[in-house]
Structure 1
Amino acid sequence: ILRILKPLGVKVSQIAQGIPVGRDLESADELTLGRALRGRTPL
């Protein structure tokens, strides 16, 4: 996905810790999701 989107100028980032792999984002609480998004890193 990164190789396709980066040349198009789309910013791609990885969320920080707090959201387990495979977990549905809709089931994450607001505090955990907020921390994960604030700590994201550009790819």
Structure 2
Amino acid sequence: MTEIRFSGYGGQGIIRCALIGGKALSIYGGKFSTMNQSFGPEAR
């Protein structure tokens, strides 16, 4: 099993990067993907 994690700060486009990567793996790789967004106290 291979685990890939994307992490970053706001404004870096990390959510879009993870979304595109996860969809590509699910559709073309026949794999499963999960996305979980976590916001710290600095988020408004």
TM-score range with shorter-chain normalisation? Answer: under 0.3
Higher RCO, Cα 8 Å, sep 6+: 1
More helix by share: 1
Q: TM-score, length-normalised on structure 2?
A: 0.25
Q: TM-score, normalised by structure 1?
A: 0.25
